[in-house]
Amino acid sequence: MAKLAINGGPRSIPEDIEIAKDWPVVTKEDKAALIRVIDSGNFWGKDHPETAALEKEYAEYTGTEYCLAFNSGTSALHGCVAGIGIEPGDEVIIPSLTFLASATSVMHHNAIPVFVDIDPETYNIDYRKIAEKITDKTKAIMPVDYHGLPADYDEIYPIARAHDLVVIEDAAQAGGATYKGRKAGNLGDISGASTMPLKPLPGAGEGGLVCTNDKGYRDLADMVRMFGEIIEAGRQRQYNAYTMGWNYRMNPLVAAMIRSQLKRLDDNVRVRHENGAYISGALAEIDGVIPPYVPLDRTHAYYIYYFKVDPQAAGAEKIPAGRFRQAVQDILRAEGVFVRLSQHTPVPGQSLFQVKRGYGKGCPWTCPYGRDVAYRIEDYPNTLDVLRRSLALDARFTYPSTSKKVIDMMIDAFRKVFENMDEVVRYAGSIDYREPWEEISTMSPVEQHEEYVSESLYQGFREDKKPG
């Protein structure tokens, strides 16, 4: 049996192997698109020709009526929240496992995120648990197409319609993925995508895209994007704000790069999906590795390949799940396969929600119209269990440029580790282990806040808890 690298054996993936080309891959066509903007000397404008063309092309691509380009996925989601008419104190339902920005896009509008636990198979919002979280303040549900896998829209819509709620799709990670033949971005009543350079549809810098078929949502999101004004091509600007607005315009260099990358998105996502399926097919053969579940009616963009490990099935039943995951993580890394935690805590476990500083003075929770929603991580048992057992694989193994040869080396590393279960068990017994949400720090979120947040932030806030 091959000796584990952690015990001095050879690495499964030698250090000098190139796993894949860096992402994004920038072609001569991408460069020409960027030069086109530079040569034009025009670097600005909500209706810049590159931005306007991108909006038309992405609306066509997703099959939606309207698209608006924003300067990040976060601002795009805030545009969605504002565009559907969310107001202070309104509540939006969000999965407890996602990237923070899903929740903060709601709070940017003084509204309140209410979290729902996830389905342990898909890692997406568990639609069976949505209804119990709906109150008379709930205005929207924001499913997240997490890791690049579209959520369960056919089950979510009947709940939304029964309670007169809008569905905001957080498609930040899922550019190019499909659900029952429809593209991500066209699965919500309104959607926000991210085009930051690591995402499946990358721009030359930060960016985001809002899509909808609703003209009213589109028009309000458009005003919010630029200072609350109504600004239309060919119409003299009035310099009059009709509503609260921000400066969320996309940089035309970013737009030009996205347009160029959009031409390759389907091919890239097809290969990502094939790579993911190939990896899953092989890992499923290893007792103790549980690949991500992809329902047959959808495709996965594999922004993140997230899998579980199970000590029972691996023959290490005496090792608790989290400790086992930590051991596998360390041992795979030593073999040259970088794996990591994705999120460390259910989003409501982050200090922001535990301490509820928000904007200060208790807002948005205890401001007028708000509600002091309780955020307890134990209310999200599936999320805790998934965080304890799961790892994110080095994204390069699903990049379109990675080779089968390198993927096979990675799979061999998994085989080697799981064949050496005695060694894994011995190693697992020797390490210090803390749950992922404790790894952030052994301090409670409240203590962390007091330790790390500067004193100035405390002015006007929790006088009793002011440090020093």
Residues of this chain that bind ligand PLP (CB under 6 A) = 72-74, 77, 98-99, 101-102, 144, 170, 172-173, 194, 196, 206, 208
Strand 166-170 versus strand 138-141 pairing type: parallel
CA separation for the pair 173, 330 (Å, rounded): 27
User: Which residue, 130 or 314, is less far from ligand PLP as judged by CB?
Assistant: 130
C-beta closer to ligand PLP: residue 327 or 347: 347
Distance of closest approach, residue 81 Cβ to ligand PLP, in angstroms: 12
- By beta-carbon proximity to ligand PLP, the closer residue of 91 and 170 is 170
The pair of structure tokens assigned to 89 is 């104190």
Residue 67: enclosing H or E segment and its boundaries?
A: strand 66-70
CB of 173 to ligand PLP, least distance (A): 5
Q: How far is the CB of 170 from ligand PLP (least distance, A)?
A: 5
Q: Shortest distance, CB of residue 380 to ligand PLP, whole angstroms?
A: 16
Task: Return d(Cα 190, Cα 208) in angstroms, integer.
Answer: 13
3-state secondary structure of 456: helix
**Closest CB to ligand PLP among residues 150, 311:** 150
Task: Provide the minimum distance between the beta carbon of 305 and ligand PLP in the complex, in angstroms, as a whole number.
Answer: 15
The packing angle between helices 381-389 and 321-334, to 10°, is: 30
Distance CA 298, CA 275 (A): 15
Q: What's the CA gap between 166 and 128, in Å, rounded?
A: 17
Least Å from the CB of residue 247 to ligand PLP:
15
DSSP 431: S
Other Cβ atoms within 10 Å of 201 Cβ, number: 28
Decide whether 80 or 160 has the Cβ nearer to ligand PLP. Answer: 80
- Report angle CA 23, 26, 27 to the nearest 5 degrees: 140
Measured from the CB atom, is 102 or 420 closer to ligand PLP? Answer: 102
Rounded to a whole number of angstroms, the minimum distance from the CB of residue 232 to ligand PLP is 26
Q: How far is the CB of 391 from ligand PLP (least distance, A)?
A: 17
Q: Single out the residue of 262, 244, 445 nearest to residue 355, CA to CA.
A: 445
CA gap 125, 92 in Å, rounded:
13
From the number of C-beta atoms within 10 Å of its C-beta (0-12, 13-18, 19+), residue 438 rates as middle
Largest CA distance in the chain: 76
Closest CA to 376 of 384, 368, 366, 385: 384
Smallest distance, ligand PLP to C-beta of residue 108, A: 11
Measured from the CB atom, is 184 or 417 closer to ligand PLP?
184
**Residue closer to ligand PLP, measured from CB, 101 or 314:** 101
Strands (E), 285-336: 289-290, 305-309
C-beta closer to ligand PLP: residue 150 or 288: 150
If the CB atoms of residues 98 and 420 are measured against ligand PLP, the closer one turns out to be 98
CA dist., res. 270 & res. 300, Å (int): 9
* Rounded (10°) CA dihedral 442, 446, 452, 456: -170
- Identity of residue 300: H
- By beta-carbon proximity to ligand PLP, the closer residue of 100 and 446 is 100
Structure tokens at 408: 């096979």
Residue partners of 366: CB distance under 8 A and separation at least 6: 372
CB of 181 to ligand PLP, least distance (A): 23
Closer CB to ligand PLP, 304 or 409, in the complex: 304
d(CA 357, CA 367): 12
CB of 10 within 8 A of CB of 236?
no
- The least CB distance from residue 146 to ligand PLP, in Å, is 7
CA distances to 127, 148, 214 from 154, in Å: 10, 17, 19
* Cβ-closest position to ligand PLP: 73
**Min CB(73)–ligand PLP separation in Å:** 2
